[in-house]
Each structure stands twice: as structure tokens, then as C-alpha cells.
């Protein structure tokens, strides 16, 4: 059993856009309330599919938030429309404003559609992503250059007395928060190319993924699902209850 606390909370209203750091959040069977409930769609092989930073890194320059449902004030079963801000930081539109699609099409240079689903549009449905400070600090030291946590798009960033990379063996374990929320840990998160893009400049850093592949099986963080819904606050304490034996490494990628 490891003692731990919540260092950061994040919500990403629109897939592959910048998100918002929170003081508290509500979670339920869908995952984090309001997380990835919106997506920009593009036509791919005759079908309309979510556009991500893999195909359009410029998406990362856009950001989304819920200014009228801050922190845990957002109800997961009824999130409002996200407010989306353009890269210039001056213009913003509500998700259902037809001018938003036009602005996105002009900026990204392709026909688009906008989708909203309160059930969530994660690649791994009904999930949360947890990252750990010890692992983050260890990776930062290995790379010997500043590493922005936003590259990995976590929902919860946790500080604990467990050693770096220990979470790779926690699949099947549980996380019990002092406020009553309980999560089931699924499997370590296999990273795609999205963390190689800077959240601020969209510049590519392929060495990051090469390093993860060579030294850590391309893993960073661990996916989880909610067993007991409720509110999680920044700095809240929690218990990490890993299984008696390490679970096999997962192969599910993180949602962008």
C-alpha cells in the first residue's frame, strides 16, 4: 500500500485541444466529467472520424474549457457546451456556434464537422488517465531537458512514496480517495505520437517517443475506471492498493 495525494487535476473538453487545470472534478462511470465530450471530425476513407493531433498538430494550439461550470461544478451527466478559444487567444466561440466550425476549417484547411457526446469520445471508453510524479521526474531526468506534463494529457497527476515506474505493475489494483471515490486500475498506458508535439508550439520531438520505446516499453501512466463515483479535489489524499502480483502490460493506447 502506497500513501499518495493528488497534485494536479486536468480536463480536456475537446479531443486534441488544450484543456483546463482544475481544483476539483467529478467522476462517474463515464470517466472525468466533461472530459473529451467534444471532437472535431474529418472525412477519412468515406467516413467521418475524430481528427487528432496526429493528423493535425495545429489542433493543439486551440483550447477548450467550461467557464460556466468550473471544477466540480460540472455535472458529468449534463455537461454544458465547451467554450473554444482560437490560437490567437482573442476569439472564442461556444461549441454550438456555427462560426466555430468555419473558423476551424479556415485554420486547419479542411472540411470539418463537430460532434458532441456526453458519454465521452475517448479512444479507451469510460476511462481516466493517471500519471505519477516519481515517474514523471525520473523521465525528465533521463531526457535531461524540461518535460511538459501536458504532453501526456492526464486527468490525475499523483505524488506518492512509490518508486518511479511502479505503476506498471499495478494493473488490477485500486485507488481509494479520502473523499470516497474508488478507481480500478486497468493497465499501463501505451503512448502514441501525440506526446511528441509541444502543447505550446506544436514542434515535434520524436526523441521522446524513441526514448520511451527503448527504455520503458512505450509506457507512461496507467488507465483506470471509476468504481465509486464522486468528487476528487486537488491535494486530496488517497491510497494505492496494487494487486499482489504484477498484471501483464497493457496494449491500449491513450486517447488524444
Q: What gap in Å lies between CA 42 and CA 33, rounded to an integer?
A: 25
Ramachandran quadrant class, 141 (left: phi over 0; alpha: psi -120 to 50; beta: rest): alpha
pLDDT at 74: 97
Between 241 and 24, residue with greater pLDDT: 24
**Domain residue ranges in the chain:** 2-12+124-241, 37-116
Are 190 and 253 in contact, with CB atoms under 8 Å apart? yes
Q: Which of 189, 226, 212 is nearest to 143 (CA)?
A: 212
Is CATH 3.40.50.1370 the right assignment for the domain spanning 2-12+124-241? no
Instruction: Find residue 10's DSSP bridge partners.
Output: 21
Residues 184-238 pLDDT 10s: 999 999 999 999 999 999 999 999 999 999 999 999 999 999 999 999 999 999 9
pLDDT at 242: 82
pTM of the model: 0.92
pLDDT at 251: 36
Mean pLDDT, range 84-88, rounded to an integer: 97
Amino acid at each position: 500500500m502506497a500513501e499518495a495525494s493528488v497534485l494536479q487535476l486536468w480536463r480536456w473538453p475537446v479531443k486534441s485541444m488544450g484543456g483546463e487545470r482544475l481544483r476539483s472534478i467529478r467522476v462517474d462511470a463515464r470517466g472525468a466529467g466533461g472530459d473529451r465530450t467534444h471532437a472535431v471530425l474529418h472525412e477519412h476513407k468515406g467516413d467521418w472520424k475524430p481528427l487528432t493531433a496526429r493528423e493535425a498538430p495545429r489542433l493543439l494550439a486551440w483550447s477548450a474549457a467550461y467557464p460556466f461550470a468550473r471544477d466540480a461544478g460540472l455535472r458529468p451527466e449534463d455537461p454544458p457546451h465547451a467554450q473554444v478559444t482560437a490560437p490567437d487567444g482573442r476569439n472564442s466561440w461556444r461549441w454550438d456556434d456555427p462560426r466555430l466550425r468555419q473558423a476551424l476549417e479556415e485554420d486547419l484547411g479542411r472540411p470539418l464537422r463537430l460532434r458532441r457526446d456526453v458519454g465521452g469520445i475517448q479512444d479507451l471508453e469510460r476511462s481516466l488517465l493517471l500519471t505519477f510524479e516519481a515517474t514523471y521526474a525520473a523521465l525528465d531526468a533521463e531526457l535531461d531537458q524540461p518535460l511538459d506534463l501536458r504532453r501526456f494529457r492526464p486527468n490525475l497527476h499523483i505524488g506518492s512514496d512509490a518508486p518511479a515506474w511502479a505503476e506498471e505493475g499495478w494493473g488490477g489494483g485500486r485507488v481509494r480517495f479520502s473523499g470516497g471515490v474508488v478507481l480500478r486500475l486497468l493497465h499501463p498506458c501505451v503512448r502514441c505520437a501525440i506526446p511528441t508535439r509541444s502543447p505550446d508550439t506544436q514542434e515535434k520531438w520524436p526523441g521522446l517517443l524513441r526514448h520511451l520505446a527503448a527504455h520503458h516499453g512505450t509506457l507512461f501512466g496507467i488507465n483506470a475506471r471509476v468504481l465509486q463515483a464522486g468528487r476528487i479535489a486537488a491535494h486530496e489524499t488517497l491510497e494505492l492498493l496494487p494487486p499482489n502480483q504484477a498484471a501483464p502490460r497493457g496494449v491500449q493506447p491513450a486517447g488524444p
